[in-house]
């Protein structure tokens, strides 16, 4: 049930595994978290407006907001703080990095790590999803760049998704393109958003949708010019905050609780599945090949 | 799981609670059942055409067909009678009141009533839903006016929904706008009709859709000019009655039985949830404030 | 839960029962398997291209590819062979018969047969569905003609559906039009493809959709000119085979396993339901009336 990989056939490179950034429709830039220029700088910047009750959470982890353990830990702590502050009613998730919302899970967390570390990492991915998907706050994604794999998952946890109308950007759970498989709770989030059929085809083919395609199938709710993504999110939030919090949150919980409970009731086995998969010799080998390929590209 | 309310924040009045009629897109008229001019007159008028096998059920409880205990009791008896009459194969639900199909649950049934009476009322709401949602007849809603909250629920029980193409009318489960939460079987009916995502957003925001928006998301099936709603329903019914009753009903049952069984298996706890919520001091207080506000408006 | 029939009212002939071919939008030709000119000729022709790893399965059982026990047995054996051949990664289902993909279940398998034979037949229908719906191969339907009832079911098992853009063709689970009811796993396949609401209306009314309608509700994925159905399927298959098999199949399994498991866990009772229904005197009588009507038409 958990994340699993298949060795890729010779024809296709392991391009973009878990950390892909489509910088244009014609070619792909790939980045890993090693490129970070300052690993101790805060990866999350929160601007909370006491007057409006809305916090804007900027993801600012160069180059592509990869979901590393540090990143996820920071994010979860930030969300929990806001959740406990009764005066914070709305949360806007956005990116400070150019062209990308988040490129998804950080491959370096999965290569050459101990089983214990892998388990810790996966628990943090689960925690991020659980916290955001069942948040009491109204959460809006201001998707101002590409959002593949784990970045798409993060978008799916939100109550509303606004994306930059730039055809160079894409969004989707593209795991199969990389030879791996989205775990069941990634799948459940997608089914709840675009329905069974689009989820099936999107997952089987690892589809990355253009903004207009994403709008058509309901993967995002609204497209706006790139420079208006955040301002539109702020305006939209007033509509969400016009609803009494208690009623809005109970309705959200009624819709999402069965999906949340599924992961809560199988969290440990989901971690075990991930660890036993990712620590396989064959998987580690393909990750090494992939990373060496990346080094050559950059060299 | 049952209907729950939240105290509204100061900014928003408790406008339209459970008994809302949007008479135009720019302002809202609110009515309560006390306005009834003749409380003993039949609230339901049934015209059964023996030749066609189709009954038209006119809701005629001024001013806005509020779902009071009396109204629901009459309606359930009328449906049961038709259900037992083998010659009646189709049912068209429509309103004799101008501008409104049904404004939903009657607030007077929930204010200052004993727990026993509240329980009796809620059981009647359940009974209405159960009878209509699992009817052996082909049931078509001829929605010739606004249909918020409980009125929308009634529409959702039907096999087909035809709405007047008048932008002043609206339809939706708008409970959260009033600080309350639709119970799980309202939610299930909506999910079965518009899918998980539209249900989630519609319930969280308490959206009232214009006819064209309702058509776009599948909340209604067809729009026609206001004066053709009933005639179109009658024509459409011939298509439904062209299908052998037995086969049509077994197919309907196959689709709806799991949803019906969910309420049947938790009917008493759903009533208890409703009663314990609605009889809370805080809720009764906000209902009193609301009713006093209505009196002032009318004064 | 299984296939059940209702005696048809006098007004409607039992036209098209289980073996319908709409040869035009204005009238209906009906065929039974007795018309086969050569019952020992292979009903399935498989062309496997070792280079591409794609097999094309031509259904060539005159006149309308009725799903007889022999046909289903041949088809299941052919699928199983391909499934076990690791070099076969993709399967295209299409028809060699003009104007029809498959007309669905063969009525002759259900009339005048022993309970044992009926059970054997139904098990074969289940087997076809199970094999195709959970195939490890990427399966594409090249729907080059009408595809009612069981033909539609076969299409629904595929990963992708390409249909000829000819308004004379239609597709749908039209069982209720014939007084019978699609069993639960037909229904599940439809819900998974077009969602709950379209499945409900489609099944209740036994709707046969034109290609453009089928595209609109997601019952097929793509329309192309009639002479390009197969070539488009071949081109599309390269996109599916660009995905690592293991990852694609695990994703497919994650989406479909719950639906497959439902039938697997109630297979025997589903057979018993079918047999006890189809061997009823009343049902056999209506089948006889129907077959006699067909003979007269042909006479």
**What contacts A93, CB < 8 A, 6 or more positions away?**
A57, A59, A132, A139, A140, A141, A142, A154, A155, A158
Q: What is the pLDDT of residue C39?
A: 61
pLDDT digits 0-9 by tens, C212-232? 999 999 999 999 999 999 999
The mean pLDDT of chain C is 87
Q: What is the pLDDT of residue C17?
A: 32
Q: Using the beta-carbon criterion (under 8 Å), do C221 and A201 form an inter-chain contact?
A: yes
Q: Using the beta-carbon criterion (under 8 Å), do A197 and C218 form an inter-chain contact?
A: yes
Instruction: Name chain A contacts of B9, Cβ cutoff 8 Å.
Output: 244
Q: Using the beta-carbon criterion (under 8 Å), do B244 and C204 form an inter-chain contact?
A: no
Which stretches of chain A drop beneath a pLDDT of 50? 1-37
Instruction: Name chain B contacts of A221, Cβ cutoff 8 Å.
Output: 201
Which stretches of chain B drop beneath a pLDDT of 50? 1-37
Q: What is the pLDDT of residue A57?
A: 98
Q: Using the beta-carbon criterion (under 8 Å), do A181 and C247 form an inter-chain contact?
A: yes
Q: What is the pLDDT of residue C284?
A: 85
Q: Which of A191, A218, A247 sits opposite B176 (nearest CB)?
A: A247
Q: What is the pLDDT of residue A296?
A: 85
Residue of C nearest to A14 (CA): C244
| C5 and chain B in contact, CB less than 8 A | yes
pLDDT digits 0-9 by tens, B151-202? 999 999 999 999 999 999 999 999 998 888 999 999 999 999 999 999 999 9
Best residue in B141, B199, B243 for a mutation probing chain C (most C CBs within 10 Å): B243
Count CB atoms within 10 A of the CB of residue B131.
19
- How far from the centroid of its chain's Cα atoms is residue A192's Cα? 16
Q: At B67, phi and psi to the nearest 5?
A: -85, 85
Active site residues of A: 105, 150, 174-175
CATH of domain A42-298: 3.90.226.10
Q: Using the beta-carbon criterion (under 8 Å), do C246 and A6 form an inter-chain contact?
A: yes
Determine the Cα–Cα distance for residues C290 and C19; give it in Å rounded to an integer. Answer: 11
- Decide if A299 contacts A122 (C-beta within 8 A): no
Buried b (16+ CB within 10 A) or exposed e, A20-53: bbbbeeeeebbbbbeebeeeeeebbebebeeeeb
Residue of C nearest to B239 (CA): C205
| C27 and chain A in contact, CB less than 8 A | no
ipTM given for this complex = 0.88
Domain spans in chain A, listed from the N-terminal domain onward: 42-298
Residue of B nearest to C173 (CA): B251
Q: Which of B193, B218, B251 sits opposite C204 (nearest CB)?
A: B251
- Decide if C127 contacts C72 (C-beta within 8 A): yes
- DSSP secondary structure, C225-247, as one string: -GGGHHHHHHHHHHHHHTS-HHH
Determine the Cα–Cα distance for residues B280 and B269; give it in Å rounded to an integer. Answer: 17
| B181 and chain A in contact, CB less than 8 A | yes
Q: Using the beta-carbon criterion (under 8 Å), do A12 and C242 form an inter-chain contact?
A: yes
Q: What is the pLDDT of residue C21?
A: 33
For residue A208, the distance in angstroms to the closest alpha carbon of chain C comes to 13
Q: Using the beta-carbon criterion (under 8 Å), do A247 and B4 form an inter-chain contact?
A: yes
pLDDT digits 0-9 by tens, C61-112? 999 999 999 999 999 999 999 999 999 999 999 999 999 999 999 989 999 9
Q: Could you confirm whether C150 is annotated as catalytic?
A: yes
Q: What is the pTM of this model?
A: 0.89
Which stretches of chain C drop beneath a pLDDT of 70? 1-39, 298-299
| A246 and chain B in contact, CB less than 8 A | yes
What share of chain C in percent tops pLDDT 90? 76
Instruction: Name chain A contacts of B199, Cβ cutoff 8 Å.
Output: 255
Q: What angle do CA B7, B8, B14 make, to 5 degrees?
A: 110
Nearest CA to B254 out of B134, B105, B89 is that of B134
SS3 C126: helix
For chain C, give the longest Cα–Cα distance. 57
Q: Using the beta-carbon criterion (under 8 Å), do A205 and C245 form an inter-chain contact?
A: no
Q: What is the pLDDT of residue B23?
A: 32
């Amino acid at each position: 049930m958990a994340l699993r990989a298949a060795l890729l056939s010779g024809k296709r490179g392991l391009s973009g595994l878990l950390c892909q950034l489509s910088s244009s429709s014609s070619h792909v830039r790939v980045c890993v978290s090693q490129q970070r220029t300052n690993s101790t700088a805060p990866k999350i910047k929160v601007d909370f407006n006491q007057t409006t009750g809305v916090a804007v959470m900027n993801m600012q982890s160069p180059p592509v907001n990869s979901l590393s353990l540090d990143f996820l830990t920071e994010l979860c702590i930030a969300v929990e703080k806001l959740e406990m502050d009764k005066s914070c009613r709305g949360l806007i998730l956005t990116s400070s990095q150019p062209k990308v919302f988040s490129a998804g899970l950080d491959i370096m967390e999965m290569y050459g790590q101990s089983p214990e570390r892998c388990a810790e990492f996966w628990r943090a991915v689960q925690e991020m999803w659980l916290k955001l998907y069942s948040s009491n706050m109204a959460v809006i994604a201001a998707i101002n760049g590409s959002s593949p794999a784990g970045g798409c998952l993060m978008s799916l946890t939100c109550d509303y998704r606004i994306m930059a109308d730039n055809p160079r950007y894409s969004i989707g759970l593209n795991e199969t393109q990389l030879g791996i498989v989205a775990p069941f709770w990634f799948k459940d989030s997608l089914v709840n958003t675009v329905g069974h059929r689009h989820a099936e085809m999107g997952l089987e083919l690892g589809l990355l949708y253009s903004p207009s395609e994403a709008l058509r199938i309901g993967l995002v709710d609204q497209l706006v010019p790139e420079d208006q993504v955040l301002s539109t999110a702020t305006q939209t939030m007033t509509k969400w905050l016009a609803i009494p919090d208690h009623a809005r949150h109970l309705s959200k919980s009624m819709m999402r609780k069965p999906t949340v409970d599924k992961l809560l009731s199988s969290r440990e086995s989901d971690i075990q599945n991930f660890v036993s998969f990712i620590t396989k010799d064959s998987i580690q080998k393909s990750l090494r090949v992939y990373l060496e390929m990346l080094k050559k590209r950059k060299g």
